[in-house]
C-alpha cells in the first residue's frame, strides 16, 4: 500500500524538522499527482539527474538580509529569515525594507560558479520565503524585487541563464502556505499552540482562499512558466492545516503540467511529493528505497545574520556529505548572501575546500549507491533515549562506504592505527569478492597489499592518510 501522509499542526510543533514523518494516511487525492500514476521506470528517468547529483546549494536570500538578525537595536534570536515573525514586526514596517534593497553586489555568474567549484550540481533558491517578498519579477503581486526595490532586476532569471550556461540545475523554494505580509495566509508563531492563524498585525487578517487564488497560485504559475526549462525543482515548505487536500490539489494541478519537475514532501494536503526532506539532521539509516535530501545550514541560520559566525568546519561539512551519500541521500547545503548580494567569505572558503576534495574524490560520491555494510555509521544505544523516548542513535565516525557496480568505496575518516610502518584497514564481512585495492587520491592507483583470512580482509595502508578529512579506499570487486 502506498503510504501517504498528512501534516497536522501538532506534528509540526512537536517535530518541526520532520514534516512528513508519522502522519496518518490522507484521504484519496482530489487531484492525483504524477507520482500517483507514473511507472517506476518513468520515475527513474525523472529522478535520474537528481539521484546522480548528491550535492546541491540552497540559497536563502531576501529582505531579511537587511536587518540581518537585528531589529530596533536588539539581536533577535533564532533563524534570520524568521526575524519578521520572531520580532513581531508590523507588515508596513517590514514591507518598507524593500525601498532600501539594492543588492548590486549580486552576481549570478559568481554564485553559479561557486556552486560549480564546490562540486554542487543544483541550486535551490528562495523565490518567496515566509515573509511574502518575491525575489522575482511578479505581475501577480507588487511586493517583489523588480517592482518594489531600486534594484529592478530579477535574480532568478539571471541565475536561470547562468545555471543553463554552466550546466547546473536550478530549483525554486516557494512558501505556499505561510506568508506574513499577505492578508489571509498562515503565520506559525514561535512557541504558540495555534500555529495556523496567529497574526500580530491586523493587516495579516483575511481569507486564505483569497491569498491562495490571488497570490500563491498565480506566483507558482509565473515560476513554472517564465524560466524556460527551469525550475527543475519546486521546494515547498511548512504546510499547516490550512493546506487542505482540496487546496493542495489546486497546486498539484499546476505542477502536473510540468512532467519533469521534482517537488518535495512539504506541499501538504496529504501529497507525498518526490523527496523526503530531513532538516538540520541526517537520518540514522537514511530512507531506504526513497529519494531524500538533508537540508542544512552552514552556520546556524538560513537567511544572513551579521553576527552568526558559528560556521561548521570543512571537516564536518564534508563528512556530512559523505555520511549522506553513504545512506543514499542528497546534501542541500545552504548559503545566505548579505543585503548587497555578497556571499560571506567563510561560506565561500568552505565550499571551495569541499570542491577541492570532490575534484579528487567525487567518483566516490556522485551517482553512487548506499553502503553494503551499515554498522559503520553507528548504532542505537541500549540505554540512552532520544527526545521521543526511542533508543538514541550514536553515530560513529571511523569510516563510511558508498557503492558502484564494480567498486566499493571506503571513505576513511579516522586512519587506522599504525603498526610497524603500516596501517591496516580491516573488514570482517565481505559483501563481494575483492579483487584489488587502491587509494583514489593516489594518481598511480598503486595496488595495496591485501591479506584475506577466513572471510575477513586486511588492506595494508600507508602510515598516513592522503587527506586528513577523508581518504577514499577503492575496493575493486567482482560482481
Ligand atoms: O527555510 C528554512 C526555514 O526558515 C524553514 N525551513 C528551512 C528550509 C523553516 N520554517 N520553519 N521551520 C523551518 C521549523 C520551524 C521552527 C519553528 Fe521557530 C520553531 C517555528 C516556531 C518555533 C524557529 C524558532 C523559528 C521561530 C522560532
Quick one: which atom of ligand 1 is closest to the CA of 334?
A: 8
Say yes or no: CB of residue 238 within 6 Å of ligand 1: yes
d(CA 260, CA 121): 17
Residue 1 has pLDDT above 50, yes or no: no
pLDDT at 136: 99
Tell me phi and psi for residue 432, to 5 degrees: -140, 165
Look at the alpha carbons of 368, 120, 164, 217 in this order and tell me if their dihedral is positive or negative: positive
Q: Is the pLDDT of residue 94 over 50?
A: yes
- What is the rounded distance in angstroms from the CA atom of residue 10 to the CA atom of residue 193? 8
CA gap 454, 436 in Å, rounded:
17
Place of cell 520572531: 86
CB distance 81 to ligand 1 below 6 Å:
yes
Residue 75 three-state SS: strand
Give per-residue pLDDT as tens, 248-257.
999 999 999 9
d(CA 155, CA 145): 9
**Ligand 1 atom nearest 189 alpha carbon:** 21
- In the block, cell 552556520 appears at 299
Q: List pLDDT tens digits, range 427-452.
A: 998 999 999 999 999 999 999 999 98
How far apart are alpha carbons 426 and 460 in whole angstroms? Answer: 9
**pLDDT-derived band at 479, boundaries 50, 70, 90:** low
Asked whether the beta carbons of 156 and 171 are under 8 A apart, the reply is no
Residue written as grid cell 538580509: 65
Task: Report pLDDT for 466.
Answer: 98
Whether 115 and 53 have beta carbons less than 8 Å apart is answered as: no
Ligand 1 centroid – CA 334 distance (Å) = 14
User: Which of 3-7, 138-142, 375-379, 382-386 is the least confident region?
Assistant: 3-7
Task: Give the separation between CA 445 and CA 448, rounded to whole angstroms.
Answer: 9
**Residue whose C-alpha cell is 497536522:** 8
Q: Is the pLDDT of residue 192 over 70?
A: no
Q: Say what the pLDDT of residue 174 is.
A: 99
Strand, helix or coil for residue 436: strand
pLDDT bin (cut points 50, 70, 90) of residue 331 is: very high
CA distance 182 to 178: 9
Of 320, 298, 313, 280, nearest in space to 114 by CA: 298
CB 242 within 8 A of CB 215: no
What is the helix (H) or strand (E) element at residue 325, kind and residue range?
helix 314-326
The mean pLDDT value of the chain amounts to 93
Distance from residue 400's CA to the centre of ligand 1 (Å): 30
Q: What pLDDT sits at residue 195?
A: 53
223 has pLDDT over 60: yes
Give the DSSP letter string of 259-306.
TT-EEBS-SBTTB--SBB--BS---TT--TTS-BEEEE-SSS-SS--T
Reply yes or no on whether the pLDDT at 299 is more than 90. yes
Helices (H), 118-176: 155-166
Nearest-angstrom CA–CA distance, 405 and 410: 14
What is the DSSP pairing of strand 434-439 with strand 422-427?
Answer: unpaired
Report CA(244)–ligand 1 centroid distance (Å): 20
Q: Whose CA is nearest to atom 10 of ligand 1?
A: 238
Sheet of 422-427, strand order: 418-419, 422-427, 456-461, 450-453
pLDDT, average across residues 65-78: 98
Q: pLDDT-derived band of residue 28, with 50, 70 and 90 as boundaries?
A: confident
The closest residue, in CA terms, to atom 9 on ligand 1 is 238
| Mutational test site, ligand 1, from 13, 19, 190, max ligand atoms within 8 Å of CB | 190
Confidence of residue 194 (pLDDT cuts 50, 70, 90): low
Distance 204 CA to ligand 1 centre (A): 19
Of 279, 296, 333, 336, best ligand 1 pocket probe by most atoms within 8 Å of the beta carbon: 279
Q: Which atom of ligand 1 is nearest to the CA of 126?
A: 1
* Ligand 1 midpoint to CA 140 (Å): 26
Q: Taking a C-beta distance cutoff of 8 angstroms, is the pair 137, 157 a contact?
A: yes
Pocket probe mutation, ligand 1, options 11, 16, 58, 301, max atoms within 8 Å of Cβ: 16
At residue 476, the 3 state secondary structure works out as strand
CA angle 49, 53, 58 (to 5 degrees): 110
Cβ of residue 357 lying under 6 Å from some atom of ligand 1: no
pLDDT of residue 63 exceeding 90: yes
Residues 295-317 have a mean pLDDT of 98
Res 22: pLDDT: 42
Spatial neighbors of 362 by CB under 8 A, at least 6 apart, are: 119
Report yes or no: 217 and 176 within 8 Å, Cβ to Cβ. Answer: no
**Residue 158 pLDDT > 90:** yes
Residue 16 Cβ contacting ligand 1 at under 6 Å = yes
Q: Which of 78, 193, 280 to mutate to test the pocket of ligand 1 (most atoms within 8 A of CB)?
A: 78
In the reported structure, the alpha carbon of residue 278 is separated from the centroid of ligand 1 by a whole-number distance in angstroms of 13
Instruction: Identify the residue whose C-alpha is closest to ligand 1 atom 2.
Output: 302
pLDDT digits (tens, 9 = 90+) for 106-133: 999 999 999 999 999 999 999 999 999 9
Q: Residue 47: is it exposed, middle or buried by C-beta count within 10 angstroms (0-12/13-18/19+)? A: middle
Residue nearest to atom 18 of ligand 1 (CA): 190
Which residue blocks in 285-423 are alpha helix, DSSP H? 314-326, 345-361
Q: Can you give the pLDDT at residue 21?
A: 41
Sheet holding 169-174, edge to edge: 262-263, 233-236, 169-174, 122-128, 55-59, 330-335, 293-296
Q: pTM of the prediction?
A: 0.93
**Distance of alpha carbon 257 from the chain centroid:** 24
Torsion of CA 31, 33, 38, 44, to 10 degrees: 180
Q: Which residue in 96, 93, 67, 98 sits closest to 80, CA to CA?
A: 67
| Whole-angstrom distance, CA of residue 411 vs CA of residue 168 | 26
Measured in angstroms, how far is the CA atom of residue 79 from the centroid of ligand 1?
A: 7
pLDDT at residue 230, as a whole number:
98
3-state secondary structure of 453: strand
What is the rounded distance in angstroms from the CA atom of residue 120 to the CA atom of residue 169?
10
Query: CA-to-CA distance for 151 and 342, rounded, in angstroms?
Result: 14
Q: How many residues does the chain have?
A: 479
The whole-angstrom distance between residue 167's C-alpha and the CA centroid of its chain comes to 19
High-pLDDT (> 90) share of the chain, % = 87
Q: Ligand 1: distance of its center to the CA of 134 in Å?
A: 19
How many Cα neighbours within 13 Å face the side chain of 324? 31
The best mutation among 20, 56, 178, 188 to test binding of ligand 1, ranked by most ligand atoms within 8 Å of the C-beta, falls on 188
pLDDT digits (tens, 9 = 90+) for 375-388: 999 999 999 999 89
Secondary structure letter of residue 19 according to DSSP: T
Q: Stretch 79-95: mean pLDDT, rounded?
A: 97
The answer to whether residue 402 scores a pLDDT higher than 90 is yes
237 pocket-lining for ligand 1 (C-beta < 6 Å): yes
Q: SS3 of 245, please?
A: helix
pLDDT for 196 equals: 54
Rounded to the nearest whole angstrom, what is the distance from the C-alpha of residue 195 to the centroid of ligand 1? 12
What is the tens place of the pLDDT at every residue in 164-184?
Answer: 999 999 999 999 999 999 999
pLDDT of residue 23: 45
Pocket test for ligand 1, best of 62, 79, 293, 295 (most atoms within 8 A of CB): 79
Amino acid at each position: 500500500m502506498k503510504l501517504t501522509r498528512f501534516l497536522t499542526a501538532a506534528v509540526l510543533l512537536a517535530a518541526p524538522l520532520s514534516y512528513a514523518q508519522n502522519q496518518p494516511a490522507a484521504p484519496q487525492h482530489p487531484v492525483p499527482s504524477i507520482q500517483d500514476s507514473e511507472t517506476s521506470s518513468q520515475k527513474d528517468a525523472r529522478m535520474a539527474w537528481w539521484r546522480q547529483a548528491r550535492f546541491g546549494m540552497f540559497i536563502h536570500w531576501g529582505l531579511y538580509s537587511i536587518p540581518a538578525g537585528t531589529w530596533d537595536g536588539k539581536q533577535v534570536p533564532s533563524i534570520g529569515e524568521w526575524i519578521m515573525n520572531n520580532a513581531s514586526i508590523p507588515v508596513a514596517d517590514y514591507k518598507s525594507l524593500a525601498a532600501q534593497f539594492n543588492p548590486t553586489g549580486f552576481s549570478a555568474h559568481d554564485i553559479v560558479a561557486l556552486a560549480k567549484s564546490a562540486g554542487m550540481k543544483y541550486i535551490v533558491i528562495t523565490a518567496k520565503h515566509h515573509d511574502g517578498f518575491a525575489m522575482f519579477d511578479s505581475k501577480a503581486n507588487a511586493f517583489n524585487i523588480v517592482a518594489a526595490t531600486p534594484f529592478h532586476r530579477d535574480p532568478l532569471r539571471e541565475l536561470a541563464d547562468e545555471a543553463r550556461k554552466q550546466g547546473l540545475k536550478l530549483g525554486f523554494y516557494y512558501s505556499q502556505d505561510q506568508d506574513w505580509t499577505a492578508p489571509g495566509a498562515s503565520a506559525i508563531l514561535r512557541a504558540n499552540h495555534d500555529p495556523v492563524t496567529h497574526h500580530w498585525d491586523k493587516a495579516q487578517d483575511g481569507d486564505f482562499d483569497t491569498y491562495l487564488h490571488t497570490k500563491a497560485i498565480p506566483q507558482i504559475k509565473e515560476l513554472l512558466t517564465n524560466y524556460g526549462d527551469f525550475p527543475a525543482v519546486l521546494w515547498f515548505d511548512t504546510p499547516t492545516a490550512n493546506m487542505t487536500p482540496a487546496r493542495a490539489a489546486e497546486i498539484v494541478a499546476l505542477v502536473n503540467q510540468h512532467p519533469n519537475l521534482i517537488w518535495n514532501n512539504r506541499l501538504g494536503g496529504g501529497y507525498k511529493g518526490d523527496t523526503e526532506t530531513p532538516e538540520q539532521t541526517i537520518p540514522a539509516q537514511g530512507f531506504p528505497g526513497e529519494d531524500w535530501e538533508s537540508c542544512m545550514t552552514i552556520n546556524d541560520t538560513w537567511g544572513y545574520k551579521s553576527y552568526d559566525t558559528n560556521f561548521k568546519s570543512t571537516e564536518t561539512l564534508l563528512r556530512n556529505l559523505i555520511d549522506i551519500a553513504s545512506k543514499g541521500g542528497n546534501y542541500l547545503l545552504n548559503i545566505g548572501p548579505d543585503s548587497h548580494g555578497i556571499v560571506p567569505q567563510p561560506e565561500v572558503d568552505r565550499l571551495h575546500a569541499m570542491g577541492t576534495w570532490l575534484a579528487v574524490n567525487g567518483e566516490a560520491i556522485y551517482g553512487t549507491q548506499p553502503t553494503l555494510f551499515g554498522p559503520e555509521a553507528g548504532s542505537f544505544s541500549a540505554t540512552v533515549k532520544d527526545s521521543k523516548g526511542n533508543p538514541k542513535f550514536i553515530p560513529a565516525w571511523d569510516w563510511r562506504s558508498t557503492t558502484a557496480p564494480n567498486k566499493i568505496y571506503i571513505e576513511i575518516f579516522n586512519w587506522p592505527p599504525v603498526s610497524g610502518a603500516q596501517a591496516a584497514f580491516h573488514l570482517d564481512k565481505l559483501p563481494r569478492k575483492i579483487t584489488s585495492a587502491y587509494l583514489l587520491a593516489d594518481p598511480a592507483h598503486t595496488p595495496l597489499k591485501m591479506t584475506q583470512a577466513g572471510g575477513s580482509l586486511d588492506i595494508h595502508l600507508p602510515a598516513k592518510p592522503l587527506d586528513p578529512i577523508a581518504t577514499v579506499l577503492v575496493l575493486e570487486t567482482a560482481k
